[in-house]
Structure 1
C-alpha cells in the first residue's frame, strides 16, 4: 500500500486518484496493517476507516489508535450484513437553519458559545492541529461501555428493516442461574444534549501542563493516566472502551469527565486511589459553556415531542448535526467549530452519566446484563418492572423502558 499516495490523495480530495487506489484501499481496509503509533499513523488509520465506511465496506479494526489490536467482544460477526454507521455530515450542514426551522440547533450552539465571557476559541487554526494535544484526541476517549455481562452470551443476528435495509441486531442469551425474568431495555432520552448542561471544558486553548500531583478541579482538558484496576464483574470498567487502547506503558488519555468520575469513585470507596497523572494539556475549566444550548434543547423537546412527526424528527436531526460539527473529521466538511476536546468531553460526560446511573441500580440490587453506548442499558428484571433508580418519562434525564422475552432480538432504539 502506497501510504504517501493515500495521504496526498485524501489531502487534495482528488477523486480520480482515489479511484485508482480503490483496489489496494479495499484490501487494506479489510485487513488493516499495523501502523506506527504516531500522529501520522493515527491519521492514516482513520483515513482507512473513513474510506471503508464511505464505500459500505466493513472495516476490520477500529482505527482510532493505530498499531493496537481491535477490541474484542463475545459477539459473532456476520460480514455479509450491512453494518449501521453514523450519518455523515453533508455539505450545507454548517449553515444556520432557516428562520422557520423547528429547532435552529447550530445557531443556538454558536450563540451559547458566543455569549461566554471567557472568549472561547471556536476553531483551532489548521496549522496548529498537527501538534500539541490535538493528535492525542481520538474517538475512543468517549468511554462508551459497550459491555455485556461475562455470564451472558451476545450474538449478532440479521434483521430486515421495513425499508428493506438489512442490518444486525444483538440477541442476549441469559443463563438459567439468573432465574426467571425478562430483558428490560432502558433508553435514555437526549444523552448528548443532557450532557451539555454541565460538561467541564476549557474554552480557550489547551496548554501543556505536564505531570500533575493531583487533579485540579479548576482545570479541564486531557490527562495521561494509568488504567485503574476494576475487579467487579457486575459492571463494566468506568473508563469503558478507553482501556482497550493503552500505550506501550499501559496508560491512556482521558478527558475531564472521566477524571472527575474516578475522583468520585475514590471518594466513595470503589477505587483505592486516584491514578497518577503523567502528562496533561489543560485550560481554565468552565461547565456552563453549552448550558444555554441545553436549556433551549430541553424546552424545544418538551414542545416538539408532543407534536411528533417531521418537526420532532427535524429537531433530533439538527441537534445531532450541531453537536457533530464541534469536530468535523474531514477536510471538506466545513464548520464554525473545530474543537475535538469539546466534542469528546461532551460525549464522555454522557458516557459517565450513563455509567453512573447504571451503577446506582446495580448497587441497589438490580442485575445489569449489558451497557451499550451512551444511552442504552439492559437489565434482567421481573416482567413489567424497571429498576426504580430510573425515572420513566419523555424529558431529559428520564428514560423509556421496554420489555422483551429471553432469546428475542434487541430492537432498535426509537429516540
Structure 2
C-alpha cells in the first residue's frame, strides 16, 4: 500500500463507518453462487482423508434419468488471491455519484441496480445470493466486478440490457492495487507446495485470514485495514470468474448439477469427457477438472 502511486486509504475512521456507503455493504454483496440442481439431492457425509482425519463432505445423489456418466468437479487453484491480480476497485474514499446513465469504466465502487431477468435455467443467476435480499423496490447493491460482467453478458447477447443504476458511490478506479499481494501469494504457493508439510499448511491457513482482515469484524482483530468495499470487490471478482467458467462449460452442453461458492462447480458428463477447455491439473490461479464417480463424496481442498 505504501508503494502505491494511488495513495490508497486503507482504513475508514470508526466515526465515519455508520454513514455514507459503508452501511450499504454486506457479506451478501460478494455474489457467491450457491445452487444445487432441483432433481439432485445434496447432503453431508463422513469422509476419511488420506492422513486418517475424519471430516464431513458433500455427497450428491444423481437420479437415474440423468443417464450414465460421472460427476466432473472443476475448481480454481487459489481463487481468492488470484482474483487480486486484476480486481477493479477505488483505492480512495467512495463519494456519492448518484444515478448513472451508464457505467463509467474510470470509476469503481458500489451500485444500486434492478435485478436483471435471467432466462437460462441451466445456470443460476450471475448475481448469486445478492438477489436473495432485495430492498422494498426490488433493487440490490453490487460492486464493480458484477457491473462489468453484466455489461459483458449484454454484449454477448445473454442479457437484453444493462440494468438501470439508481444510485452509486464511486471513486477513481484502479485494478493493480492488490497485484503485488497476488504475485507474492503465487510465488509462496509455488515454493511451499514443493516443500509441503507444515509450511504449506501454514500458508493455506494464513492466506484467507489475511484477505478477511481487509474487513475485520471484531475489535480484537487488529488490522491496518477497514475497507469492506475492497474485501467484497475481491470476493465478487472471484465469484464472477468462477461463474463464467461454469457458464462456458454449460454452453458446451455439460449439465450443471451444483455450483458451490467460488471454489467448485460440479457437472454431470459422459465418462472421460470433461469440459474441453479445462485441464486435469492447474497451477496457481488456473482451473482444473477432476472426475468423481457416482456415489462418491465431493473432494475439497487437499483431499
2:189 aligned counterpart, secondary structure: helix
Aligned to 1:249: 137
Q: Is the 8 A contact 1:392 1:398 kept in 2?
A: no
CA distance in structure 1 between the partners assigned to 2:104 and 2:288 by the alignment: 37
* Residue 44 of structure 2 corresponds to residue 157 of structure 1: yes
Over 4 Å off, 4+ runs: 160-168
CA distance in structure 2 between the partners assigned to 1:165 and 1:295 by the alignment: 32
How many pairs align? 302
* Residue 270 of structure 2 corresponds to residue 389 of structure 1: no
Q: Using CA pairs under 8 Å that are at least 6 residues apart, name the structure with larger relative contact order, 1 or 2.
A: 2
Counterpart of 1:207 (choices 95, 98, 104) is: 95
Deviation at 1:362, TM superposition (A): 1.1
Pair member with larger Rg: 1
CA distance in structure 2 between the partners assigned to 1:391 and 1:222 by the alignment: 35
Matches within 5 A, 1:299-314: 299-314=187-202
1:194 aligned counterpart, secondary structure: helix
1:246 aligned counterpart, secondary structure: coil
CA distance in structure 1 between the partners assigned to 2:175 and 2:233 by the alignment: 11
* Residue 216 of structure 2 corresponds to residue 331 of structure 1: no
Stretch deviating more after TM superposition (114-123 or 315-324): 315-324
CA distance in structure 2 between the partners assigned to 1:255 and 1:311 by the alignment: 35
CA distance in structure 2 between the partners assigned to 1:142 and 1:414 by the alignment: 25
Structural RMSD (CA): 1.9
CA distance in structure 1 between the partners assigned to 2:210 and 2:151 by the alignment: 31
Unaligned runs of 5+ in 2: none
Q: Is the 8 A contact 1:205 1:283 kept in 2?
A: yes
Counterpart of 1:281 (choices 169, 191, 215) is: 169
Counterpart of 1:407 (choices 281, 291, 295) is: 295
* Larger strand share, 1 or 2: 2
CA distance in structure 2 between the partners assigned to 1:392 and 1:410 by the alignment: 16
Aligned to 2:22: 134
TM-score by length of 1: 0.69
CA distance in structure 2 between the partners assigned to 1:166 and 1:135 by the alignment: 40
Q: Is the 8 A contact 2:281 2:289 kept in 1?
A: no
CA distance in structure 1 between the partners assigned to 2:38 and 2:200 by the alignment: 38
Please list the CA deviations of residues 101-148 of structure 1 after superposition, one character each: whole Å capped at 9, or x if unmatched.
xxxxxxxxxxxx221111000000000001111111111111111111
TM-score by length of 2: 0.94
Please list the CA deviations of residues 218-254 of structure 1 after superposition, one character each: whole Å capped at 9, or x if unmatched.
1100000010011211111000111001011111000
